[in-house]
Amino acid sequence: MNHGAGGETMQEFLSKHIVSHFPKMRSDVPLTSLDDSAVIDGIVFTTDGHTVKPLFFPGGDIGSLSVAGTVNDISVIGGRPLALSCAVILEEGLDIDIVDRVMDSVGKTSAACGVPVATGDTKVVEAGAIDRMMIVTSAVGKRSEHMDHNLSVASQYRKVDSKWLTDDNVRDGDAIIVSGTLGDHGVSLLSFREGYGFESVVKSDIAPLNGLIEKVLKKGGAVTMKDPTRGGLANTLNEWSSKSRIGIELNETDIPLKDAVVNACDLLGIDPLSIGNEGKVVIACVPDAASDILKVLRSHPYGKDANIIGYATSKTKHVTVRTSVGGRRILEPPVGDPVPRIC
User: 10 Å Cβ neighbour count for 142?
Assistant: 14
| Residues paired with 125 in a beta bridge | 91
Give per-residue pLDDT as tens, 272-318.
Answer: 999 999 999 999 999 999 999 999 999 999 999 999 999 999 999 99
CA dist 184 and 261 (Å) reads 7
From the list 112, 17, 125, 24, the residue with the least C-alpha distance to 63 is: 112
Domain boundaries, the chain: 2-330
- pTM of the predicted protein model: 0.94
Question: With contact defined as beta carbons under 8 Å apart, do 44 and 141 qualify?
Answer: yes
What is the three-class DSSP state of 283? strand
Question: With contact defined as beta carbons under 8 Å apart, do 174 and 285 qualify?
Answer: yes
Question: With contact defined as beta carbons under 8 Å apart, do 80 and 142 qualify?
Answer: yes
State the amino acid at position 97 in one-letter form: D
Domain spanning 2-330, CATH class: alpha beta
Question: With contact defined as beta carbons under 8 Å apart, do 86 and 106 qualify?
Answer: yes
Give per-residue pLDDT as tens, 218-272.
Answer: 999 999 999 999 899 999 999 999 999 999 999 999 999 999 999 999 988 899 9
Lowest model confidence (mean pLDDT) among 7-21, 52-66, 181-195: 7-21
Confidence of residue 337 (pLDDT cuts 50, 70, 90): low
